[in-house]
Chains A and B, each alone.
Chain A
Amino acid sequence: MSKVIMKLEDIRTYYYLRKGLFKTLVVKAVDGVSLEFRAGETTAIVGESGCGKSTLGRTSLKLIEPTSGKIIFEGKDITHYKGDLKWFRKKAQIIFQDPFQALNPYHSIYRILSEPLEIFGERKREVIEEKIVNALEEVKMHPPEEFLTKYPHMLSGGQRQRICIARALLLGPIYLVADEPVSMIDASSRAEILTLFRNIQKSRDLAIMYITHDIATTKYFSDWIAIMYAGKIIEYGPTREVLRNPLHPYTKALIEAVPDPDPENRFKIRPVIPGEPPNPINPPPGCRFHVRCPKRFDPCDKKEPPLKEVKKDHYVACFLFT
């Protein structure tokens, strides 16, 4: 197995909401997540809104301080690293969901892409230009020179997202968080951006955390999948194995809920799970899914099921499998 780049150990990230003078509510956005991200592999984090997947991504980049747990990057514990994080920022990058907001509208593409290089001490204009042109070529913006003087509003959503990818790649990262990178992009260009990710990953041997709510894309663009529900990972394993053979009732329901294009669909009523994801301020006791679970039984509302390996590399947190 290839090298572990990023290791998260029992990460908990809580937000504190002040309610009135004396009351403070705790939002347990991420509540005990352990994961490994290896070079040349994409791990998809799948879950519905509010499940904590974005918080997890940002915590791993130290954009949010975890409440407890360890962030180990290249074997080094950086959880409480208080010094200059510049070396880490260079190696760990993020691509945001909305390429319309992630680029400064007043800056030309040249300025957007030269900024990270300048921050990291590159002064020679020729070197900067060469690096930018190479980066634009890598994200398939042809011809690269033509884009340098353009501004974000002159580009389509897909092109903007590629600028964001180019910017993230310029400093040669080894770990990349892609937070819903294609949900704002037109359907016909999504596969293009995701294929680009995959090719760049293979050529650069990147470890990628791919955060998404779209389980269908994970099948084609990820090696590992972690299903999150209310701040916890409830199932983890090789993507194809988990999709073919989902064990947790929530994973099953999530897969059931996604339609494939099929004219027969309109005659069927889709099996659905009732209710909505729980409020992370006051998650239900025991298994957090038990309120909606069609298979709940005795221990589910009392004890929390641990994440257990039930088949080789396939982990699930459910009492049905203990």
Chain B
Amino acid sequence: MSEKLLEVNNLYLYYRTYKGIVQAVDGVSFWVPKGKAMGLVGESGCGKSSAANAIIRLLPSNTHRYEGSIKLDGRELMKIPDEEFRRKIRWREIAMVFQGAMNSLNPVIKVGFQVAEPLIVHLGMNKKEALERAREMFIKVGLSPAFIDRYPHELSGGMRQRVVIAMAMVMNPKLLILDEPTSALDVSIQAQIMNLLKELKKEYNLSMIFITHDIALASDISDYLAVMYAGQIVELGPIDKVLVDPLHPYSQKLIASIPRLRVDREPEFLPGVPPGLINPPKGCRFANRCPYRMEMCEKEPPLFDVTPDHHVKCWLHGGEHS
């Protein structure tokens, strides 16, 4: 396996709410190799966006517990104080395309300046230099450089999404986190954006975390896949293993639920709903929906190593039963 750029170990992010403590990210461990993309998939509310926010350290004020280890290029990020993290890591080393970001561009500022702004703030460039760099970035993401003088409302959804990607790439980060980057776009535009992301990944040897609920879409760019369920990663490995021969019963069901256009296979479904994250069940969190449930499942399974890079959180693939 190629060298790891990002290593996340036992990451926790809990929120305090009036109903109780929400265990959004509960002991998550994964890695992203250099130049590769990790697809982080799961259903809404499984904690995938929270995991991303934890990595780029954008925490809400009701954060209750934030701990674990996040190493970038071998350097422990959790020890870096907030102010230094803001100046040196966020956007310089790790950038993010937020969910629905194309709709949160500032409507009264020209898009070129919005892309150039981090260069002025972080690198102290003057406005002219920064705009020149923004113009280059526009070309890279497939926009006409003349668009730097436009306002967000003058651009279509697909173009605004390209602006947001340019914004994330302008500081030349090592790791790009993409949170549902195409979920607000039409399918034909989605395919254009996916092609752009593939090209950027190749050209810059960029590492990515690609967050989505759409596994088919994740397979369009990811080299590795992590399946999340109720705040935890239940399966993690190379995409040709996880997608083709999933081992965790949840991954199996989730992949079987995708309606396929080119193969004839009736989509299956998974009865029931995921548990709440305020008081998640003890033991395996998937047990109450699992067709293979056994007595052991009352104890929480660890993430077993099936092969050195394929891990499954299920008693069927580790312990006495395997």
Interface residues of A (CB under 8 A from B): 48-49, 156, 158-159, 186-192, 194-195, 213-217, 219-220, 243, 253-263, 265-266, 269-270, 272-274, 276-277
CB pair A195–B195 under 8 Å, yes or no, is no
Please name all residues of chain A whose beta carbon is closer than 8 Å to the beta carbon of B239 when the two chains form the complex: 263, 266
A105 to B244 alpha-carbon distance, docked (Å): 42
With A213-B186, A263-B239, A277-B186 known as contacts, the answer to whether A256 contacts B191 (CB < 8 A) is yes
Q: A258, B273: Cβ atoms under 8 Å?
A: no
List residues of chain B with CB within 8 A of the CB of A259: 194, 216-217, 219-220
CB of B271 within 8 A of CB of A215, answer: no
| C-alpha gap A192/B272 in the complex (Å) | 10
**Contact call A187/B254, Cβ cutoff below 8 A:** yes
Chain B: residues with CB nearer than 8 A to chain A?
Answer: 37, 43-44, 156-158, 186-192, 194-195, 198-199, 213-217, 219-223, 239-240, 243-244, 253-255, 257-263, 266-271, 273
B219 touches A272 (CB 8 A): no
Contact among B217, B253, B263 with A188 in the assembled complex (CB-CB below 8 Å): B253
Residue of A nearest to B263 (CB): A260
* Given A269-B195, A272-B188: A261 in contact with B259 (beta carbons within 8 A): no
Asked whether A188 lies within 8 Å of B219 as measured between CB atoms, the reply is: no
| A190 surroundings in chain B (CB, below 8 A) | 257, 259, 267, 269
Least distance between A216 CB and chain B CB atoms (Å): 4
Q: Can you name 5 extra interface pairs (CB under 8 A) apart from A48-B188, A188-B269, A260-B216?
A: A48-B187, A219-B259, A220-B267, A263-B244, A269-B199
**Which residues of chain B have C-beta atoms less than 8 A from A48's C-beta?**
186-188
Flag if A260 contacts B262 (CB, 8 Å).
Answer: yes
Which residues of chain B are near A274, meaning CB under 8 Å? 192
Task: Give the residue name and chain of the A residue nearest to B36 (CB).
Answer: A266
Taking a contact as CB atoms under 8 Å apart, the answer to whether A265 and B259 are in contact is no
How far is B48's CA from A187's CA once the two chains are assembled, in angstroms? 15
A-B pairs with beta carbons under 8 Å apart, 21 shown: A186-B43, A189-B270, A195-B269, A219-B260, A220-B266, A220-B267, A255-B261, A257-B188, A258-B261, A260-B261, A261-B215, A261-B243, A262-B219, A263-B239, A263-B243, A265-B219, A265-B221, A266-B219, A270-B195, A276-B157, A276-B188
Say whether, besides A186-B43, A192-B271, A265-B220, A272 and B257 are in contact (CB < 8 Å).
no
Q: Is the CB of B192 within 8 A of A272?
A: yes
Q: List chain A residues, Cβ under 8 A from B199.
A: 269
Are A186 and B188 interface neighbours, CB within 8 A? no
Contact of A156 among B158, B221, B273 (CB under 8 A): B273
Which chain A residue shows the least CB distance to B142? A274
Query: When the two chains form their complex, are residues B186 and A216 in contact, meaning their CB atoms are under 8 A apart?
Result: no
CA distance A194 to B268 in the complex (A): 11
Query: Please, how many angstroms separate the alpha-carbon atoms of A296 and B194 in the complex?
Result: 25
Q: Which of A188, A194, A265, A276 contacts B43 (CB 8 A)?
A: A188
Q: Of residues B156, B157, B259, B266, which shows the largest number of chain A Cβ atoms within 10 Å of its Cβ? A: B259
Q: Measured between alpha carbons, how far is A218 from B214 in the docked complex, in Å?
A: 17
Assess A243 versus B255: contact at CB under 8 Å? Given A188-B270, A272-B195.
no
Please indicate the chain B residues that have their CB under 8 angstroms from the CB of A191 in the complex: 257, 259, 267-269
A121 to chain B, nearest CB (A): 37
Closest B residue to A258 using CB positions: B261
With a cutoff of 8 Å between Cβ atoms, the chain B residues found around residue A187 in the complex are 43, 213-215, 254, 257-258
Contact between A261 and B187 (Cβ–Cβ < 8 Å)?
no
Residue of B nearest to A46 (CB): B187
Bound Cα distance from A258 to B219, whole angstroms? 11
Report if A261-B258 is in contact (Cβ < 8 Å); known contacts: A189-B269, A191-B268, A266-B222: yes
Which residues of A have CB within 8 Å of B254? 187-188
List of A residues within 8 angstroms of B267 by Cβ: 190-191, 194, 217, 220
Can you list the 4 inter-chain pairs with the closest CB atoms, starting with the nearest?
A: A192-B269, A257-B191, A48-B186, A191-B267
Question: Is the CB–CB distance between A258 and B187 below 8 Å?
Answer: yes
B260 contacts A261, C-beta separation under 8 Å = yes
Question: Which residues of A are found within 8 Å of B220, using beta-carbon distances?
Answer: 259, 265-266, 270
Assembled-state Cα–Cα distance A257/B188 (Å): 6
A186 with B213: CB separation less than 8 A: yes
Q: Kindly report which residue of chain B lies nearest to residue A50, judged by CB atoms.
A: B186
Q: Which residues of A contact B268 (CB under 8 A)?
A: 191
Whether A261 lies near B269 (C-beta < 8 A) is no
Give min CB distance, A162 to chain B, whole Å. Answer: 12
Give A240's nearest chain B residue, CB to CB. B264
Contacting pair A266 B223 (CB below 8 A): yes
Q: Give complex CA distance A81, B88 in Å.
A: 68
Contacts of A49 in B (CB 8 A): 186
Q: Are A254 and B187 in contact (CB-based, < 8 A)?
A: yes
Known: A192-B271, A259-B216, A261-B243. A266 touches B262 (CB 8 A): no
